[in-house]
Amino acid sequence: MNASRSIGVFDSGIGGLTVLREIRRLLPNEDILYFGDTARVPYGTKSADTVRDFASQIVDFLVGQKVKLIVVACNTVSAMALDHLRKRFKSVPLFGVVEPGVTAAVGATKNRRIGVIGTVATVNSNAYRDRLLEADPRLTIVQQACPLFVPLVETGWTGNAVALLTAKEYLSSLKKKAIDTLVLGCTHYPLLKPVIRKVMGKAVTLVDSAEEIAGDIRAYLGLRRLRNNRKGKGSIRCWLSDRSPYSIRAAAFILKEKNLRIELKKF
Amino acid sequence: MNASRSIGVFDSGIGGLTVLREIRRLLPNEDILYFGDTARVPYGTKSADTVRDFASQIVDFLVGQKVKLIVVACNTVSAMALDHLRKRFKSVPLFGVVEPGVTAAVGATKNRRIGVIGTVATVNSNAYRDRLLEADPRLTIVQQACPLFVPLVETGWTGNAVALLTAKEYLSSLKKKAIDTLVLGCTHYPLLKPVIRKVMGKAVTLVDSAEEIAGDIRAYLGLRRLRNNRKGKGSIRCWLSDRSPYSIRAAAFILKEKNLRIELKKF
């Protein structure tokens, strides 16, 4: 593997750009390729079969771009399809967001009571619960699917009365279970942190996998001597499968990169 | 064209089954084919380019099944892609849901003030507004996109406090404009009728295109002598591009058909 190759990152939509942003902050010299499947978003309400098909097409595309590793920035894909992808694509290391979230949550909890929120698909897969219990069988895990959180974020309703009422509906049962740590198991959820914080209270630690995974990638590249040692900033190349005005605006807002050119890639 | 051929119906998801149900009620002898693009739903947040691509693939598939006509049960496709599809597929008549909704609304209004609600894509296309003003230039049209209504219905939150608060957010501006008729410009919205009715009040007529289009199809087939004259009930054949447990449950709930077999068709 060649250190000058790019890092590939993909997500069902534009939420994974929060992961790209963290990687760029920690590894500014790296070239990064991003693919967002905005034509088929969301994945979190769809079956494992479909999620695996879509993710395989994207990994195939990124492998063709000769990346040195791939970050699966989508929690639904990480939870439902990562093992499948690792078996199918052996030439490139694949990093999911579930494992770093698990490590961070186990490190943060004091009372061993952890909540996990995510899409219906992520929660039903039990990926977080199973890995948390592998890491520490004494944990108590409480899961809650929050299917309306992604559309709320995509609508831009992150701080209004509807967002707060929805957060109360989903989270009040978690609050009663006296958890001290809550895993935000979806790349969209960090954008709802203020209302989640309001419902859960200040004492609960919110775990955001985007922050965790960037540190893991830096450690991996350092150990393998795969860090790009060029001088100056790396490039960002971004493909979306649908270029709606919303997705272009949202991508620019999340990345805050000047002259970001978004290319169209259809499957 | 042969009268014994099937009627094709398609939608971005399972919402269009409400249209199929109405057609079956009025034309019980007809064989009906249904395609729901549950792998790529929703369409209403995506660009015209993507919506046209997806719809063309589906029409191509239904034409291959030798249907005698195709009902575009999706408002977003009807608004953004119907002219495109009609130019591309000249061998089969295509019926959209916008035109019947327009006819019904013009017939219902007394004060010539009509509201239109739909997805972002439907509202931005101005398809309803333009056709309403063609039908009667004296009309005042007020449009409102309601992007959270589809996810609310898909989550099953059609009557709770979040649904009511969301309806108030979207509809209070329409209420102030003193409309007497409201076009429900999305196949999902009839399932929110109770909360829409609660916000808008009893005096406003709610126009549901599913009901209107079935009558149009019956009239068309009668005039062209294309009605299936067989004895006994016609068959229903249903394809989805993703078979999640939710979509299978929802399809069975909407259709109330025994032994409904749902086939998988991927693009």
Does residue B136 register a pLDDT over 90?
yes
Q: Are residues A161 and A221 in the same domain?
A: no
Annotated catalytic residue within A186, A196, A240, A255: A186
Pick from A47, A154, A162: CB nearest B165:
A162
Per-residue pLDDT averaged across B50-59, rounded?
98
Instruction: Band the pLDDT of B94: cuts 50, 70, 90.
Output: very high
Closest by Cα among A33, A42, A34, A56 to A13: A42
Cβ within 8 Å, pair A148-B148 = yes
The predicted structure's pLDDT at residue B246: 78
Tokens for B3, please give them: 């009268």
CA distance A136 to chain B (A): 32
Are A51 and A18 within one domain? Answer: yes
CA-based nearest residue to B123, from B98, B148, B144, B102: B144
Catalytic residue among B7, B142, B174, B186: B186
Rounded (5°) CA angle A220-A225-A230: 110
Which of B14, B155, B195 is the best substitution to test chain A (most A C-beta atoms within 10 A)? Answer: B155
Rg (CA), chain A: 18
Residues making up chain B, counted from first to last = 267
In degrees and rounded to multiples of 5, residue B253 shows phi and psi of: -65, -45
Interface of A with B (CB under 8 A): 38-40, 45-47, 49-50, 53-54, 120, 147-148, 150-152, 154-155, 157, 160-162, 165-166, 169, 241-246, 266
* B177-186 pLDDT per residue, tens: 999 999 999 9
Closest by Cα among B82, B47, B86, B70 to B1: B70
Residue A247 lies in a domain: yes
Residues A68, A156, single domain; the answer is: no
Helix or strand holding residue A141 (H, E): strand A140-145
Please compute the mean of the pLDDT values over residues A193-222 and round it to a whole number: 94
Q: What is the pLDDT of residue A98?
A: 96
Closest Cα in chain A, distance from residue B164 (Å): 10
> Residue A217 belongs to a domain with what CATH number?
3.40.50.1860
Could you give the CA distance from residue A217 to residue B23 in angstroms, rounded to a whole number? 55
The yes-or-no verdict on residue A259 having pLDDT over 80 is no
Q: Is residue A1 part of a domain?
A: no
Q: How far apart are CA B160 and CA B198, in angstroms?
A: 12
The pLDDT assigned to A166 comes to: 98
Clarify whether residues A115 and A178 are in a common domain.
yes
For residues A11 and A42, is the Cβ–Cβ distance under 8 A?
A: no
Tell whether A2 is covered by a domain.
Answer: no
Residue B1 CA to residue B7 CA, distance in Å, equals: 12
Q: Cβ of A241 and B50 within 8 Å?
A: yes
Q: How far apart are CA A193 and CA A178, in angstroms?
A: 19
Which one of B14, B37, B41, B46 would you mutate to disrupt binding with A, by most A Cβ within 10 Å of its Cβ?
Answer: B46
CA-CA-CA-CA torsion for A154, A158, A161, A165, nearest 10 degrees?
Answer: 80
Peptide bond into B194 cis (omega under 30): no
Residue B15 pLDDT > 80, yes or no? yes
One domain for residues B161 and B241? no
Give the per-residue pLDDT at A251.
85
Q: What is the mean pLDDT of residues A93-100?
A: 96
pLDDT for residue B84: 97
Q: What is the pLDDT of residue A191?
A: 87
Structure confidence at residue B48 (pLDDT)? 94
pLDDT at A170 over 90: yes
**Helical packing angle, B245-255 and B17-26, nearest 10°:** 30
Tell whether the torsion through CA atoms of A149, A151, A153 and A158 is positive or negative: negative
State residue A256's pLDDT score: 83
Say how many domains are in chain B.
Answer: 2
Mean pLDDT score across all residues of chain B: 94
**Active site residue: B9, B33, B69, B74, which one?**
B74
Shared-domain flag, residues B156 and B129? yes
What pLDDT score was predicted for residue A258?
Answer: 74
Q: Is A229 exposed, middle or buried (0-12, 13-18, 19+ CB in 10 A)?
A: exposed
Distance (Å, whole) CA B31 – CA B10: 14
Domain limits at B260?
Answer: 6-96+211-264
Q: Are residues B178 and B144 in the same domain?
A: yes
Chain B residues whose CB is inside 8 A of the A40 CB are: 39-40
And the tokens for A267? 């499957």
A248 band by pLDDT with thresholds 50, 70 and 90 = confident
Last residue of a domain, one of A165, A194, A209: A209
Q: Is residue B1 part of a domain?
A: no
Q: What is the pTM of this model?
A: 0.92
B123 with B205, same domain: the answer is yes
State residue B175's pLDDT score: 93
Listed range (A42-46, A71-75, B109-113, B175-179) with the worst mean pLDDT: A42-46
Which residue stretches of chain A are H helix?
A: 17-26, 48-64, 75-88, 98-108, 120-125, 127-135, 149-155, 161-176, 193-200, 209-223, 245-255
Q: Is residue B149 part of a domain?
A: yes
- Cα distance between residue B230 and residue A169, in whole Å: 52
Q: What is the pLDDT of residue B259?
A: 74
Indicate if B88 and B116 belong to the same structural domain. no
**Percent of chain A scored above 90 by pLDDT?**
84
A162/B148 CB distance under 8 A: yes
Interface probe, candidates A12, A46, A249, chain B, greatest B C-beta count within 10 A: A46
pLDDT of residue A247: 83
| pLDDT level of residue A109 (50, 70, 90 thresholds) | very high
**Residues B10 and B36: beta-carbon distance below 8 Å:** yes
**Whether residue A126 sits in one domain with residue A90:** no
ipTM of the complex: 0.89
Query: What pLDDT does residue A15 have?
Result: 87
User: Of A74, A152, A171, A196, which is the active-site residue?
Assistant: A74
Using CA atoms, how far apart are residues A205 and A202, in angstroms rounded to an integer? Answer: 8
DSSP state of A146: -
- Structure confidence at residue B155 (pLDDT): 83
Last residue of one domain, picked from the residues B181, B209, B237: B209
Q: Given this model, what pLDDT does residue A252 score?
A: 83
* Residues B246, A45: C-beta atoms closer than 8 Å: yes
* Catalytic residue check, B74: yes
Nearest to B42 by CA among B71, B13, B73: B13
Tens-place pLDDT, residues A99-108: 999 999 999 9
Could you tell me the end-to-end alpha-carbon distance of chain A, in angstroms, rounded to an integer? Answer: 27
Q: Looking at chain A, how many residues does it have? A: 267
**Based on the domain organization, do B79 and B123 belong to the same domain?**
no
Claim to verify: residue B117 and residue B132 sit in the same structural domain: yes
Q: How many CB pairs under 8 A join A and B?
A: 77
Residue B92: predicted pLDDT: 97
Mean pLDDT over B150-172 rounds to 93
User: What does the pLDDT read at residue B244?
Assistant: 84
Task: Give the pLDDT confidence of B203-238 residue by residue, as tens digits.
Answer: 999 998 888 899 999 999 999 999 998 889 999 999
